[in-house]
């Protein structure tokens, strides 16, 4: 397995989970290229999770998945075992504590890792669907576009209205976890990134208000400057957007409008 194949394996599982947390055991990671594993951990794409509560029993050829019982043994390493209920001649089967170690990733963790790779300081925002994450505003040479990660069977990055599979722009080279920011920049500058759908003024105002409330809840000072930088507008313009009164309710008043 190459480092890129290890990344593809992790991204594939994450896409299939819809962005929900995915666990990888330490034993499995031992079979992956260690430079790739180190890169994932360094970028916090993989973080240590709580120990597994079940394991494959090594007591016989059946290799059953069984609950693990852990007995504290201070100051020594705890004792762990599975209690076989399939055969009378086995009983307790010792299990290595190290075998219970596991690591975790999620759609939010990947989105935050991508944000750091793109040089964004602000935390990502999780969409109400729970399957997409607003990463930030990418500035190309000509235009600035929102970058969003979505996970619906497969992981995709959206730059404006243009999508690209996450696996095509993310790479692991040696111990480095990288992203093809040049390709994303070209997507941002493409006129096709506007698509046929643009964000309505009411939808933008509502989204920014939600972002403001999130930063206030986090106790962040200077939230206006933070949001203004994310949106690529001045603070005075941002205040105008925040004080905007919603138009009369229509099918598109809080969604999107199509260009004529």
What is the tens place of the pLDDT at every residue in 200-216? 567 677 878 888 888 88
| pLDDT at res. 194 | 61
| pLDDT at res. 62 | 78
Half-sphere exposure at residue 143, Cβ-oriented, CA atoms within 13 angstroms: 15
Same domain, 110 and 238: no
Q: What is the CA radius of gyration of the chain?
A: 23
- Note the Cα 138 to chain centre separation in Å: 17
Q: Is residue 13 part of a domain?
A: yes
Same domain, 110 and 136: yes
CA dihedral of 237, 243, 244, 250, whole degrees rounded to 10: 140
Place of tokens 């050829």: 61
Report the alpha-carbon distance of residue 7 to residue 108 in Å, rounded.
16
| pLDDT at res. 12 | 92
Q: Which helix (H) or strand (E) holds 236?
A: helix 235-242
Q: How far is CA 29 from CA 9, 21, 25, 213, in A?
A: 11, 16, 6, 39
| pLDDT at res. 117 | 92
Same domain, 191 and 202: no
Q: Is residue 226 part of a domain?
A: yes
- Note the Cα 34 to chain centre separation in Å: 22
Q: Is residue 35 part of a domain?
A: yes
Residue 16's domain comprises 3-47+105-195
| pLDDT at res. 114 | 94
Q: Kindly state the tokens that stand for 152.
A: 């619906």
Q: Kindly state the tokens that stand for 254.
A: 């809080």
The yes-or-no verdict on residue 259 having pLDDT over 70 is no
Q: Is residue 235 part of a domain?
A: yes
Q: How far is CA 101 from CA 81, 91, 96, in A?
A: 14, 24, 10
Q: Is residue 185 part of a domain?
A: yes
In sequence order, the 6+-apart residues with CB closer than 8 A to the CB of 108 are 19, 124, 126, 133
Q: Quote the pTM value.
A: 0.64
Query: Could you tell me if 87 and 61 are in contact, meaning their C-beta atoms sit under 8 angstroms apart?
Result: no
Mean pLDDT, all residues of the chain: 80
Out of 179, 195, 211, a domain closes at 195
Torsion 101-116-183-34 (CA) sign: negative
Q: State mean pLDDT over 227-254.
A: 67
Same domain, 190 and 219: no
Out of 162, 195, 228, a domain closes at 195
The residue with greater pLDDT, 58 or 168, is: 168
The yes-or-no verdict on residue 254 having pLDDT over 50 is no
The yes-or-no verdict on residue 16 having pLDDT over 60 is yes
Out of 195, 210, 226, a domain closes at 195
| pLDDT at res. 140 | 80
The yes-or-no verdict on residue 106 having pLDDT over 80 is yes
Same domain, 124 and 239: no
Instruction: Identify the band that residue 257 occupies on the pLDDT scale cut at 50, 70 and 90.
Output: very low
Angular region, 19: left φ>0, alpha ψ -120 to 50, beta rest? left
Same domain, 158 and 233: no
Instruction: Identify the band that residue 246 occupies on the pLDDT scale cut at 50, 70 and 90.
Output: low
Number of domains in the chain: 2
Q: Which helix (H) or strand (E) holds 23?
A: strand 22-25
| pLDDT at res. 38 | 92
Same domain, 135 and 241: no
In sequence order, the 6+-apart residues with CB closer than 8 A to the CB of 189 are 140, 141, 142, 143
């Amino acid at each position: 397995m190459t480092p890129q194949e290890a990344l593809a394996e992790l991204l594939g599982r994450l896409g299939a989970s819809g962005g929900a947390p995915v666990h990888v055991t330490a034993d499995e990671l031992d079979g992956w290229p260690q430079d790739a594993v180190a890169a994932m951990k360094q970028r916090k794409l993989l973080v240590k999770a709580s120990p597994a509560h079940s394991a494959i029993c090594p007591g016989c050829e059946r290799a059953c998945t069984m609950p693990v019982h852990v007995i504290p043994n201070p100051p020594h390493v705890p004792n762990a075992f599975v209690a076989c209920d399939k055969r009378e001649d086995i009983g307790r089967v010792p299990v290595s504590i190290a075998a219970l170690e596991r690591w975790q990733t999620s759609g939010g963790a990947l989105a935050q890792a991508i944000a750091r790779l793109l040089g964004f300081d602000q935390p990502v925002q999780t969409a109400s669907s729970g399957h997409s994450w607003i990463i930030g505003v990418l500035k190309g040479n000509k235009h600035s576009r929102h970058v969003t990660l979505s996970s619906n069977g497969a992981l995709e990055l959206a730059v404006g209205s243009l999508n690209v599979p996450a696996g095509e722009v993310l790479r692991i080279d040696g111990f480095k976890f990288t992203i093809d920011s040049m390709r994303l920049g070209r997507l941002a500058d493409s006129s096709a990134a506007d698509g046929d759908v643009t964000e309505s003024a009411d939808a933008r105002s509502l989204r920014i208000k939600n972002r403001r409330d999130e930063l206030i809840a986090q106790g962040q000072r200077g939230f206006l400057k933070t949001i203004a930088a994310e949106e690529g507008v001045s603070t005075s313009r941002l205040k105008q957007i925040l004080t905007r009164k919603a138009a009369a309710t229509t099918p598109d008043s809080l969604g999107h409008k199509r260009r004529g």
